[in-house]
């Protein structure tokens, strides 16, 4: 395909504006690593919320979401519970406040406030650093491969070349250019540049999303959509089986459903909810989401920032997803069927962009998708070096290093992580199994130890370390012996292994010292099994009180999950013009918003009184 000059101009202006803003606002970043990684805790919570939402709007995730909407219809909104998508609600309701009260810079530094500085505390600290750095490298490799494949299906220019007998194929060249542009302004301005550019990028994405939804509604009628989908495609509530049969319409979709392993849909949703509770109680993984919590000025701001994230992320994203899905169902399906051979449903997104969008709108959508990629990538590039500089270099190598030296070390760390990630991306074909092992093991082994650290006073650094190791081992066994089984169905087994490692590592060693536990409890004030620590803290701080918010937090989490679901389904109902579903969604959104306003927002406490 050939690009219209309007599309090229829009993309060029977007890339130029991203670099300009990143450099223009970067002057404050070099004053200290607190400024560089956390924006000096002076950034407004709503800017951080826009930045956080922008960082979660990635290209690969959008393409996948379009695919599952195409295949599963309205029931597809339950499938992102695999993560779970509503872990942000737990962060919003209470986790952000608990994290921000600690006053630290990284998740690894936070661990020392919970487990202290003895050997167990050091082991827990080190494993969090390892987790953060390796997962960041894995994601950078994932971004490298993903944006490269996306770019070559969209852009018409062949940029491949040979050097020293080695040929750099087109997708690698595109990926390297885009990663380099993003890394440039992230390194220059740190958190200031990341947030400023992500706010601009979010606005670009939002405009693109609305434009795509409008275009789809203009080009596809409800009758056309009805004729293109099977019975049950409009059904929202999960049934025990998938409830969809594409026979006669698009037989190959039935094969896709079978390969996904989502046939027992009701059982899948139940298992996702079970896993989701524990995954969410574990708190955010050490990465960009946690970093934005630490960047907020106060705990209350951290909670509001986390609440703003789903509010600004899901409506525009699902306008785009629904628009692209509708265009795919009605206008791309005949093309996919006529192509013969194996059908790649992930090509729906680039095909719509290449063949269906007019000049101007195509450039706007591509700028929006590039913004989505750059936002997510820049978030990782800024967050991971904080662990290297603050938790390794400053802690173990040069504790007295001046601010300029630490910021300079941040530059090198950022470049190093990106280079290593790109290296893994270049050889992704040969290390695919290793990459899958890393991501599966890291996230499979994370949950048990990270739930216990919040709710049980007796849990210590040794328990945390061995719980993480046992979880990684359990996930590895899954990958080696049950590679075809979806992770979600083996989660209870992996969780049990990690739980056993946590309890054994904890109960066979000494508790955390009283001073550390009292200090942690005084600052964070979590609910759970903290009675012995509460009594000791009471002797030191007579005015201290227990956290009695568990019932209210539970209600707010449940209401918040429903509230977030309306933010997802309402845009879809709008685009497919199911007005009854849209009205019901908006009414539920209004009711749940009122409940959260009075039962959550008005009752957030920066710090508990002592």
- Residues 38, 51: Cα–Cα separation, whole Å: 13
Residues of the domain holding 300: 5-137+177-384
- Residues 192, 574: Cα–Cα separation, whole Å: 36
Cβ atoms of 151 and 171 within 8 Å: the answer is yes
Q: Is the pLDDT of residue 128 over 70?
A: yes
Residue 165 in any domain: the answer is no
Specify the number of domains making up the chain: 1
Q: Is the pLDDT of residue 165 over 60?
A: no
Q: Is the pLDDT of residue 477 over 90?
A: no
Name the burial class of residue 286, with classes exposed (0-12), middle (13-18) and buried (19+) by CB atoms within 10 angstroms of its CB.
Answer: buried
Residue 455 in any domain: the answer is no
Residue 407 in any domain: the answer is no
Residue 112 in any domain: the answer is yes
So what's the pLDDT on residue 494?
A: 85
Helix or strand run (H / E) with residue 167: strand 166-168
So what's the pLDDT on residue 217?
A: 94
So what's the pLDDT on residue 302?
A: 95
Q: Is the pLDDT of residue 68 over 70?
A: yes
Secondary structure of residue 161 in the 3-state scheme: strand
Q: Is the pLDDT of residue 566 over 90?
A: yes
So what's the pLDDT on residue 431?
A: 40
Which residue would you say has higher pLDDT here, 339 or 232?
232
Residue 377 in any domain: the answer is yes
Q: Which two tokens stand for residue 74?
A: 């309205």
Residue 510 in any domain: the answer is no
pLDDT digits (tens, 9 = 90+) for 245-279: 888 887 777 777 777 666 667 777 777 788 888 88
Residue 152 in any domain: the answer is no
Estimate to the nearest angstrom the gap between the alpha carbon of 517 and the chain centroid. Answer: 31
Tell me the average pLDDT across 110-118: 92
Cβ atoms of 407 and 32 within 8 Å: the answer is yes
Grade residue 529 by pLDDT with cuts at 50, 70 and 90: very high
Q: Which two tokens stand for residue 303?
A: 């909670």
- Residues 271, 251: Cα–Cα separation, whole Å: 28
The contacts of residue 144 (CB under 8 Å, 6+ apart) are 175, 176, 179, 421, 422, 424, 425, 426, 428
Of 201-215, 340-354, 392-406, 503-517, the range with the lowest mean pLDDT is 340-354
Q: Which two tokens stand for residue 40?
A: 């000096």
Cβ atoms of 375 and 57 within 8 Å: the answer is yes
Residue 508 in any domain: the answer is no
Phi, psi of 163, rounded to the nearest 5 degrees: -145, 125
């Amino acid at each position: 395909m050939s690009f219209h000059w309007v599309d090229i101009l829009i993309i060029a202006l977007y890339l130029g504006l991203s670099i300009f803003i990143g450099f223009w606002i970067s002057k404050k970043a070099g004053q200290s690593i607190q400024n560089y990684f956390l924006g000096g805790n002076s950034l407004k919570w709503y800017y951080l919320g826009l930045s956080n939402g922008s960082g979660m709007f990635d290209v690969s995730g959008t393409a996948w979401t379009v695919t599952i909407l195409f295949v599963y219809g309205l029931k597809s909104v339950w499938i992102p519970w695999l993560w779970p998508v509503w872990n942000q609600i737990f962060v919003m309701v209470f986790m952000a406040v608990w994290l921000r009260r600690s006053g630290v810079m990284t998740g690894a530094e936070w661990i020392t406030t919970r487990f202290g500085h003895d050997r167990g505390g050091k082991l827990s600290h080190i494993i969090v650093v390892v987790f953060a750095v390796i997962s960041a490298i894995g994601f950078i490799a994932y971004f490298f491969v993903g944006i490269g494949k996306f770019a070559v299906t969209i852009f018409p220019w062949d940029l491949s070349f040979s050097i020293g007998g080695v040929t750099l194929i087109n997708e690698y060249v595109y990926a390297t250019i885009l990663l380099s542009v993003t890394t440039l302004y992230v390194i220059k301005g740190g958190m200031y540049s990341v947030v400023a550019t992500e706010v601009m990028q979010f606005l670009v994405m939002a405009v693109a999303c609305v434009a795509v939804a409008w275009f789809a509604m203009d080009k596809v009628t409800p009758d056309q959509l009805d004729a293109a989908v099977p019975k049950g495609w409009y059904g929202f509530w999960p049934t025990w089986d998938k409830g969809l049969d594409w026979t006669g319409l698009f037989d190959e979709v039935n094969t896709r459903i079978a390969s996904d392993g989502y046939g027992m849909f009701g059982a899948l949703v139940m298992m996702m909810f079970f896993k989701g509770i524990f995954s969410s109680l574990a708190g955010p993984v050490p990465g960009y989401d946690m970093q934005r919590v630490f960047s907020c000025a106060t705990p209350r701001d951290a909670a509001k920032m986390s609440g703003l994230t789903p509010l600004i992320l899901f409506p525009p994203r699902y306008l785009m997803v629904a628009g692209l899905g509708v265009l795919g169902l009605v206008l791309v399906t005949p093309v996919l069927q006529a192509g013969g051979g194996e059908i790649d449903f992930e090509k729906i997104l680039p095909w719509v962009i290449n063949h269906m969008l007019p000049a101007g709108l195509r450039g706007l959508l591509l700028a929006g998708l590039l913004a989505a990629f750059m936002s997510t990538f820049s978030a990782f590039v800024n967050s991971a070096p904080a662990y290297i500089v603050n938790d390794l270099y400053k802690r173990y190598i040069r504790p007295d290093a001046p601010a300029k030296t630490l910021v300079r070390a941040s530059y090198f760390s950022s470049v190093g992580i990106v280079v290593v990630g790109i290296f893994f991306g270049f050889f992704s074909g040969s290390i695919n199994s290793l990459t899958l092992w890393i991501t599966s093991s890291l996230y499979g082994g994370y949950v048990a130890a990270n739930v216990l650290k919040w709710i049980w006073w007796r849990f210590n650094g040794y328990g945390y370390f061995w719980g993480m190791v046992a979880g990684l081992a359990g996930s590895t066994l899954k990958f080696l012996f049950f590679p075809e089984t979806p992770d979600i169905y083996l989660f209870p087994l992996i969780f049990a292994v990690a739980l056993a490692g946590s309890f054994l590592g904890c109960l066979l060693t000494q508790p955390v010292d009283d001073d550390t536990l009292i200090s942690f409890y005084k600052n964070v004030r979590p609910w759970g099994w903290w009675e012995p620590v509460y009594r000791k803290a009471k002797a030191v701080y007579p005015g201290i009180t227990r956290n009695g918010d568990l019932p209210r937090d539970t209600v707010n989490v449940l209401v918040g999950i429903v509230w977030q679901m309306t933010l997802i389904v309402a845009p879809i109902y709008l685009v497919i013009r199911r007005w009854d579903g849209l009205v019901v969604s908006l009414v539920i959104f209004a009711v749940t918003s009122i409940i959260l306003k009075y039962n959550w927002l008005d009752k957030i406490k920066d710090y508990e009184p002592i």
